[in-house]
């Protein structure tokens, strides 16, 4: 998450940074981004096929050097979850592998203050219409399943071909660490769980109801820079909804110590209100390192030519870094490939690592924080298969 490689583009040192990329072809590839003759280049330094048939999501515990991989196992009855020890040469050694519900697609760590020697994570299952939770011994990387929640719809949603069933798609943890949110694309809900602070178990709460047919996918929280969790009134939740291509902003409050509430203040599509191109699907979302922009990726919009999709930018804070209700669309920028299903911005440089699913490639772009613009292209590398996730390793 925190590559220290800022000097990369400025030539000073021989700094290199490491990334991990998941491909549906069954591989997790360790990549090095380094400078060679004044040019940035991505190269493969290791590769593992131990995650499973269709790796879909990666989560790194940087401090403990453990990588967690979700295997969506697209046509199988069950998915799998695997932890890997990350060796200093970039190779991955399997620690624990567990079978799980079908179609795991996103996960997030969380903590329980009463169990300081444990870590936990929750997983969203698209195909399995489920949420599962796990407890981890963070030092060894060994983990156990704790809970499985499955969901059934009474009937299909307004977009029946995509909303035939509950499709849990994302996992987001609120800034206080007390709540886990799961956008459900099929049910038009954001499912909400309270983390039991003594056991780390998830306790279901009333969900946040989204616009019918919108298809909630991923989300991110915003708080003012430097504010301690629970000490600010300005907590905002931004949600991307795949079926409507919308970005929606909610003000978040905590009416009591054990409840969370949402009030919508903004919604617009990821084209600044212009009609979304046929077939386009908003996907990933992140807050810029300057804390004043929301960046999203759009899949299949071909905005910059065939096979050249877009990244969208929104201004979300005023000049003094305070929350602004007047979110403004800042335009579209090239993704340098097709189907940016997921991306991650490095801290503090903002460099964007993109998983280009239909280009079968990883792209790295710069980030101009002042202008709020992704680009230019820094490096691109083709891999085998559909690349669906790529993450930075700041400690390698
Ligand atoms: C990488 O490091 C691991 C653990 O030290 C070792 O087992 C493996 O052989 C190394 N791989 C290469 C290619 O050097
Ligand atoms: C595998 O999938 C089946 C069918 O959905 C489910 O009943 C079972 O619990 C899953 N196995 C695990 C370990 O989650
Ligand atoms: C996993 O379960 C085993 C057996 O119940 C237990 O001994 C171990 O402490 C658990 N580990 C974690 C990380 O929860
Ligand atoms: C809120 O709950 C947490 C544990 O969940 C506790 O540590 C904290 O003291 C509580 N705060 C208040 C104001 O009750
Ligand atoms: C939109 O695209 C789909 C398939 O990608 C096609 O079947 C449909 O005709 C297109 N609709 C319009 C209005 O172009
Ligand atoms: C909101 O409006 C104020 C006043 O017009 C302006 O200064 C500010 O830049 C706007 N905020 C955003 C995020 O565009
Ligand atoms: C995408 O569009 C940008 C901006 O026009 C261009 O630089 C780039 O070459 C295009 N194609 C790809 C595949 O990146």
236: domain CATH number is 2.130.10.10
Specify whether 230 is located in the same domain as 329.
no
Output the tens digit of pLDDT for each of the chain's 396 residues.
Answer: 444 444 444 343 446 799 999 999 999 999 999 988 889 999 999 999 999 999 999 999 999 999 999 999 999 999 999 999 999 999 999 999 999 999 999 999 999 999 999 999 999 999 999 999 999 999 999 999 999 999 999 999 999 999 999 999 999 999 999 999 999 999 999 999 999 999 999 999 999 999 999 999 999 999 999 888 777 789 999 999 999 999 999 999 999 889 999 999 999 999 999 999 999 999 999 999 999 999 999 999 999 999 999 999 999 999 899 998 899 999 999 999 999 999 999 999 999 999 999 999 999 999 999 999 999 999 999 999 999 999 999 876
Most ligand 5 atoms within 8 A of CB, residue of 161, 278, 280 to mutate: 278
What's the structural domain count of the chain?
2
For residue 105, which of 160, 171, 29 has the smallest C-alpha distance? 171
The residue segments making up the domain with residue 140 are 50-82+99-244+246-279
Specify whether 134 is located in the same domain as 177.
yes
Helix, strand and coil percent figures for the chain, each rounded to 5: 0, 55, 45
Q: Counting ligands in written order, which one lies closest to the CA of residue 276?
A: 5
* Domain-embedded: residue 193: yes
Specify whether 323 is located in the same domain as 346.
yes
143 contacts 135 by C-beta, under 8 angstroms: yes
* Domain-embedded: residue 294: no
Specify whether 171 is located in the same domain as 214.
yes
* Domain-embedded: residue 337: yes
Q: Which atom of ligand 2 is nearest to the CA of 99?
A: 13
Specify whether 260 is located in the same domain as 317.
no
Pocket of ligand 4, beta carbon within 6 A: 197, 257
* Domain-embedded: residue 292: no
* Domain-embedded: residue 290: no
Query: From atom 4 of ligand 4, which residue's Cα is the shortest distance away?
Result: 197
Q: Which atom of ligand 2 is nearest to the CA of 102?
A: 2
Q: Which residues contact 326 (CB under 8 A, 6 or more apart)?
A: none
8-state DSSP, 380:
E
Which of left, alpha, beta for 187 (phi over 0: left; psi -120 to 50: alpha)? alpha
Specify whether 76 is located in the same domain as 219.
yes
* Domain-embedded: residue 285: no
Specify whether 33 is located in the same domain as 67.
no
Specify whether 178 is located in the same domain as 275.
yes
Instruction: For residue 293, report the distance from its CA to the centre of ligand 6, in Å.
Output: 13
Question: How far apart are the C-alpha atoms of 224 and 235, rounded to whole Å?
Answer: 8
């Amino acid at each position: 998450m925190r590559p220290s490689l800022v000097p990369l583009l400025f030539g000073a040192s021989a700094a290199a940074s490491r990334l991990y990329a998941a491909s549906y072809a069954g591989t997790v590839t360790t990549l090095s981004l380094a400078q060679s003759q004044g040019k940035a280049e991505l190269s493969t330094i290791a590769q593992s096929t131990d995650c499973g048939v269709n790796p879909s999501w990666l989560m790194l515990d940087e401090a403990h050097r453990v990588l967690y991989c979700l295997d969506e196992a697209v046509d199988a009855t069950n998915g799998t979850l695997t932890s890997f020890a990350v060796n200093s040469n970039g190779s991955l050694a399997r620690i624990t592998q567990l079978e799980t519900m079908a179609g795991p697609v996103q996960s997030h760590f969380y903590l329980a203050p009463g169990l300081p020697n444990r870590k936990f994570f929750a997983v969203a299952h698209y195909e399995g219409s489920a949420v599962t939770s796990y407890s981890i011994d963070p030092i060894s990387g060994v983990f156990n399943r704790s809970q499985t929640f499955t969901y059934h719809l009474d009937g299909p949603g307004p977009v029946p071909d995509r909303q035939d069933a509950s499709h849990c798609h994302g996992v987001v943890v609120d800034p206080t660490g007390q709540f886990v949110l799961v956008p459900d694309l099929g049910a038009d809900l954001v499912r909400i769980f309270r983390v039991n602070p003594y056991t780390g178990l998830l306790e279901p709460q009333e969900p946040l109801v989204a616009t019918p047919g919108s298809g909630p996918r991923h989300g991110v929280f915003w708080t003012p820079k430097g504010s301690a969790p629970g000490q600010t009134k300005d907590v905002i939740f931004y949600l991307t909804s795949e079926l409507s291509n919308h970005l929606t902003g909610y003000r978040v409050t905590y009416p009591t110590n054990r409840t969370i509430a949402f009030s919508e203040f903004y919604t617009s599509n990821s084209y600044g209100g212009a009609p979304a191109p046929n077939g386009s699907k908003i996907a990933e979302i992140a807050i810029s390192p300057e804390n004043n922009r929301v960046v999203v990726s759009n899949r299949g919009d071909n905005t910059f030519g065939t096979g050249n999709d877009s990244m969208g930018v929104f201004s979300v804070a005023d000049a003094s870094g305070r929350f602004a209700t007047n979110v403004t669309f800042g335009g579209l920028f090239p993704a340098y490939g097709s189907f940016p299903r997921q991306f991650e911005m490095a801290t503090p440089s903002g460099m964007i690592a993109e998983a280009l699913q239909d280009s079968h490639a990883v792209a790295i772009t710069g980030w101009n924080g002042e202008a709020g613009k992704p680009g230019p292209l820094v490096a691109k590398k083709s891999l085998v298969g559909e690349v669906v996730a790529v993450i930075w390793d700041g400690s390698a």
